[in-house]
Copies of this chain bind each other. A is one copy, B any other.
Amino acid sequence: MSTVKYVLAEQDMPTSWYNIAADLPTPLAPPLHPGTGLPLGLADLAPIFPIALIMQEVSTNRTIDIPEEVQQIYRQWRPSPLYRARRLEAALDTPAKIYYKNEGVSPAGSHKPNTAVAQAYYNKQEGVKRLVTETGAGQWGSSLAFAGALFGLEVKVYMVKVSYHQKPYRRALMEVYGASVVASPSTETVCGRAILAAHPDSTGSLGIAISEAVEMAAQREDTKYALGSVLNHVMLHQTVIGQEAMAQMEMAGDYPDVIVACTGGGSNFAGIAFPFIGAKLRGERNVRVLAVEPAACPSLTKGKFAYDFGDTAHLAPITKMHTLGSSFMPSGIHAGGLRYHGMGPMVSHLLDLGKIEATAIQQLETFAAGLQFARTEGILPAPESNHAVAGAIREALRCKEEGKSETILFNLSGHGHFDMQAYMDYQAGVLKDFEYSDEEVAMALAGLPSVG
C-alpha cells in the first residue's frame, strides 16, 4: 500500500497571503503599550519593525500580495506536497481519510521560512542591515538565519540558555548560515544583566530572550526585531500552507471535516487552518478545527483570555490572548517550539468566538504517535508536529469507534532530524509527562497587568 501525493503545479502557488482579519465577525482587541497601557500607535512599533510589516499587522484587507522576490524564494521548496496517509490509515484500521501537508521539506526543515523570508525581504527593502530575534529549540532562529543569508542581512539570535547548551546542532545550523548566536540571558542587554543579577543560574525562557532581542533592536537605527509566531503578520505569511492545501484537497476531490494543528504561538495553526476558517466565517463551507497544545504549556485549555505581556521584561506590546501569565515557566518538554506562555491573539480570539476547539496532549502520547507515523508513512516528525499527529490519530480512532468516514487534515510542520535526542529518550523510557495543577496556573496568572 502506498502513500498518495498531491502535487500542485508551481504556477498554482498562491500569489497572495490570506488575512483572516477581513473575515472576523468582531475585531481583535487593540494591542497596548507596555509602559502606558494605552493603545499602540505606529510610532511605538516603528523602532522595532519595518513599516510594511506594521501595516500588515493592522491590515483588514482580505488578501495581501506576496512580493515576486518572496515568491521566487518560496518556489525553492513550495508548493509543498500534500499526502494521503494510506499506510497510517491501514495501521489504525480506521474508516477515516487522513491527509497531511509536509512543511518539513523547506531548507530549514520546518514551516518557519514562510515568514522568515517575507520578514527578511521587507526589512531589506527598508534599508535594515541587521535582524535580531530570539529562539527556543531553534526552528525559528535557523529559519531567520537562512533567510538572512539569502538577503545579505546580519542575523543575531538570543537562544534560550538551556537550549543553547542542550541543542548545539541547531545552533550550529544558524552559524553555518552565518548568524551569531548568544545564550540568553546574556550580559549584552540591560534586561539580561538584570535577570542574571537576580538569578545568576537562570537557564532562560522565550520571554527573557524576546526582551533581550527587542531591547537590542530598539537601540540601533539599522537594526530591527523579528518574531517567528504570535503576531498577525506572521500568521498572515503562513497562510500559503492552507491555501495550497485547499487547492490540493480539491485535486483529491475531498474537503476536510476536521483540521488538526499543533499550537505554540499559533503560526503553524494559522498556516494550515486560517484559509479554511475564513471559508467557514464567510459561511461557504463548514469545518471543525482542533488546536493541539502540550499539556505542559496549556495556554488555550487552562490559560485565561486576557491582556498580558508578551515578554518577561515588559518591553513588548501587551496583547489580549490566552495566557498562562508572563511569569509561567513551562517544563522542559522536547517540543520547544510549543513552550510559550501566550497564544497568538488571532488564534485566541477565534477560540473565544467558539470558531475553533482546543485540546492538550501529554508528551508520551505525542511521541508514540510520531513513532507510529515514522514507521508507517516513513517521515520522522518534529516533536512539535507529533502533537498534530497525535491529535489526528485520536480523531481517526474516534471515527473508527463511530463508524464514520470523515476526512482529517493536518500539517506536518517540520521534520525531526534535529530532535533525535528526544526520540532516544522516548525509546529509552526516560521521557516523562508533565501537567500543571489549577493552583500552579492560578499563581502564574496572578501577575497579569491590570489594563484593557
16 pairs, A vs B, C-beta closer than 8 Å: A2-B76, A3-B72, A3-B75, A73-B378, A105-B105, A107-B378, A149-B376, A149-B378, A169-B420, A169-B421, A169-B424, A173-B420, A175-B424, A176-B374, A176-B420, A176-B427
Indicate if A47 sits at the interface (CB-CB under 8 A): no
Tier of interface size on chain A: 35 or more
Q: A5-B76, A107-B379, A173-B380 are in contact. List 6 more A-B contacts (CB 8 A).
A: A2-B75, A150-B378, A169-B417, A172-B424, A176-B423, A176-B427
State the A residues within 8 Å of B (CB): 2-3, 5, 7, 10, 69, 72-73, 75-76, 83, 87, 105, 107, 109, 146, 149-150, 168-169, 172-173, 175-178, 371, 374-376, 378-380, 415, 417-418, 420-421, 423-424, 427
This chain's copy number in the assembly: 2
**Once the chains bind, are A380 and B2 in contact (CB under 8 Å)?**
no
| One of B72, B109, B150, B375 near A178 (C-beta < 8 A) | B375
| CB pair A420 B380 closer than 8 Å | no
Choose one: B2, B150, B178, B420; the contact of A172 (CB below 8 Å).
B420
A33 to chain B, nearest CB (A): 37
B420 touches A149 (CB 8 A): no
Residues of chain B lying within 8 A (CB to CB) of residue A376: 149
A107 contacts which chain B residues (CB < 8 A)?
Answer: 378-380
In the complex, the answer to whether B10 meets A146 with C-beta atoms within 8 Å is: no
Which label, helix, strand, loop or mixed, suits the secondary structure of the A interface? helix
Given contacts A172-B423, A420-B168, A421-B169, contact A177 B73 (CB under 8 A): no
A49 and B230 CA atoms in complex are apart in Å by: 55
* Across-interface contacts of A83 in B (CB, < 8 A): 76
A69: which B residues are within 8 A, CB to CB?
2
Contact across chains for A149 and B375 when beta carbons are under 8 A apart? yes
Q: How far is the CB of A38 from chain B (nearest CB, A)?
A: 42
Q: B5, A10: Cβ atoms under 8 Å? A: yes
